[in-house]
Structure 1
């Protein structure tokens, strides 16, 4: 016997409710283990490149999972930023502030003579 429209809608609501419950439980268990879930969308082309990189970065072995790959990229970026900030801290702006300076920059920020004016270019993520 075919299901009525109402029954199909009720089944869909039940499936969605169960899915949300599974997602809440997964998020809860991840939070307990000290892990967080991040979701984002990329184009098919970029995803294929990511998958290729997961394999290319681990030749002769099991490819990285996409999760591992992004976690390792994040760790690399964290370490690189720490090194960059440590290097900048050894320099002083003309106003006397150590680099990179306060969040708003020094009073001369924006002037060519200000050492903090161009810092964002050194710290930004670069694309080739």
Structure 2
């Protein structure tokens, strides 16, 4: 007996759940969507562009690797105020100029860009 679309979809969801896949919805404006499409193609010259989902997944993996390396570098250093190994999560001395939490956390944040005012330039 032929399965209905709903039955096939239910089986697909069951397989995805079993493998730990999660659906994630992302809201982007038209400018960001155009940047995403453009970058999917630019990252694979002469080949089929990345699928947008694949591109986002690869960015997550790339960022995780970079962050893991940054944590390894920081673990060799200590806070200038309390002497704890970096990175520190909380410190009663936070706010003091010698405390890593005051300014050092900037080493971990994503690049500070003003997305609301960011304009794409024509290539």
What TM-score, normalized by structure 1, do the two folds share? 0.74
Q: Hey, what does 1:4 align to over in structure 2?
A: none
More contact order relative to length (CA 8 Å, sep ≥ 6): 2
Q: Where is the helix percentage greater, Structure 1 or Structure 2?
A: 1
> How far is the alpha carbon of 1:55 from its aligned partner?
0.3
Q: Hey, what does 1:84 align to over in structure 2?
A: 70
Tell me whether 1:95 sits opposite 2:87 in the alignment: no
Q: Hey, what does 2:18 align to over in structure 1?
A: 32
Whole-angstrom CA distance in 1 between matches of 2:6 and 2:112: 37
Whole-angstrom CA distance in 1 between matches of 2:69 and 2:33: 30
Structure 1 consecutive aligned stretches of length 4 or more whose deviation exceeds 2 Å: 18-29
Question: What runs of 5+ residues in structure 2 fail to find an aligned partner?
Answer: 114-123
Q: Hey, what does 1:13 align to over in structure 2?
A: none
Whole-angstrom CA distance in 2 between matches of 1:28 and 1:127: 39
Give the number of the structure whose alpha-carbon radius of gyration is greater.
1
Q: Hey, what does 2:93 align to over in structure 1?
A: 108
> How far is the alpha carbon of 1:117 from its aligned partner?
1.7
Report the count of equivalent residues: 109
> How far is the alpha carbon of 1:23 from its aligned partner?
6.5
Q: Hey, what does 2:55 align to over in structure 1?
A: 69
Q: Secondary structure at the match of 1:118?
A: helix
> How far is the alpha carbon of 1:20 from its aligned partner?
8.6
Q: Hey, what does 2:121 align to over in structure 1?
A: none
Tell me whether 1:51 sits opposite 2:37 in the alignment: yes
What TM-score, normalized by structure 2, do the two folds share? 0.76
